[in-house]
Structure 1
Amino acid sequence: MSMVTERPVSTAAGSPARANGTSGSTAPGGWGSVLRAYVMLTKPRIVEQLLITTVPPMMLAARGLPSLWLIAVVLLGGSLAAGAASVINCYIDRDIDQVMRRTKRRPLPSHTVSPRNALVFGLVLAAVSTALMATFTNWPATLLTLGSIAYYDLVYTLWLKRTTTQNTFWGGICGATPVLIGWVAVTGTLSPAAWALFAVVFCWQMPHFYALAIKYSADYARANIPMLPVVASVRRVNTEILLFSWLTVLASLAAWPLAAGVGLIYAVPAGTVGAIFLVEAHLLARRASRGEAVRPMRLFHWSTTYLTILFVAAAVDALV
């Protein structure tokens, strides 16, 4: 992997944008628009993606269908936790969100919701999710849930996102914890199979989010966020996309022998969609190295499809 020189990055922690963002008030409007704004703060698409990686590990851990009550509790607690992390992330990032075209219409930059109300909302969601997990699951699952919220907002959003080109790598830890939360909620412990699935989601996030960062590189540059595709050479970005794409597929195949009872219903789709995922990653890297139009959203959208098919296959195999 080649070394590149990175430009200095401002954290924007004391920028006028942040100062102005602390005094916004809720814009006038009907209750429906206000409710939609609060829902938007939770980033429902991210919540949906996290839940896809929670239930199948629960089924693999149980070697079948776990208690429907446990599934419901983990789904609700996980949704509230992911929503809490996203709301607090929006509160912290309100200064950079208002200078990025992709995010400037979010509730805080558009002053639909005040920063204070958003922070209270996020903290309440975090408290409810933690209490729910503590009451109805077990302490390992509860601690992982609370730790994920804290890591995402206090370590990743406040610090890593603004200071290092490896922000996606380190942020991938909390992005992959729903796998572990689902598994440990069923068994109380973590097995090699759980860690293999964790590795799948962890490694998957690099090509997935690097593709998005390529698409919106001008936005990230404007906000002084050192995403790798913004500050690194094309060669470096291509190397990491290909490396982590291969590691994703290899980890998915490693889960096959590690998870008890998993057979061809999982292995065949894993190999098939994994091959397509690798083809898309190599096509993006080749186009980028040649200076052609890279169309990064092809890889971004396919990577989402890949992960969904992979985990659905795992769930079906566990049931059959």
Structure 2
Amino acid sequence: MTVPLGRDGLTVSRQGLGCMGMGHSYGRADDRESVATIRRAVELGVTLLDTADLYGSSTGDPGSNETLVGQAIHHIRDQVVLATKVGFVYADGERRLCGRPEYVRAACDASLRRLGTDRIDLYHLHRVDPAVPVEDSVGALAELVAAGKVLHIGLSMVDADQLRAAHAVHPVSAVQSEYSLWRRDIEHSVLPAARALGVGLVPYSPLGRGFLAGAVAAGDDVGRFRSTLPRFGPAALAANAHIADTVRDVAEELGATAAQVALAWVHSRGADVVPIPGTRHRRHLTANVGALDLTLSPAQLDRLDRLHRTVTE
């Protein structure tokens, strides 16, 4: 199943695949399994693939995730919608934001080389650089569209004002933000602004970085990346355990997995909401795709909708 994303002609699969985890963020990955997962996704109709020039693969080097994705799809390039991002640069061993137009243009050329392609279907500004007006960064993205190197523009982690300012420079097809049963901040202003402008939403971490799928619980080793996030502290995990328990209970009622229920809830928010659950294993990919065939009852939706009011940070 495919749906339009935005109003300027971009069509994507109803669910995508986030490729960030095919690297060091959640522990060391197996590149062969990652490649097999990407190719299996395309076979299953999951053709929106999301990466970034910031992400590493098993080597850990920034940009190597793009190289991995490019190798996986080189023979099926025309079957996928390839999304990547720009906005970070490494200097003196540290990561910092950079949205300068000249950097955006150079970074695009570097991403094209790593991906082994002549165009990027959806190019996101990864973050807004506070030292550069968002209009300037988006102006550079617009130049890339005019040059044929980029087909559609996206923004990641912006507020409503930034979205409106960017959209005034060039049509924005998608906003990528964290959105899930336990992270619903964007409903206050970003999502209404996106819908008013005809901009699609691409939720990342729709499974709560594994928490909603039951992959992480109080007392677990949450790993280096999750340990930097307040919600994965021992006290917060214990206080929020009832959320994962409720998702699991609904899953048992439906004969589904907790991940499928969490994804089905995201899908219930509208056809303009296209989540990109990340995985590097074919078995998890197949299970996630099953969420597209899952229907939550009004009563189940109500139980799940009320969960975000009880989240402990």
Give me the TM-score of the superposition, normalised by structure 2: 0.31
User: Greater RCO between the two (CA within 8 Å, min separation 6)?
Assistant: 1
Give me the TM-score of the superposition, normalised by structure 1: 0.30
More helix by share: 1
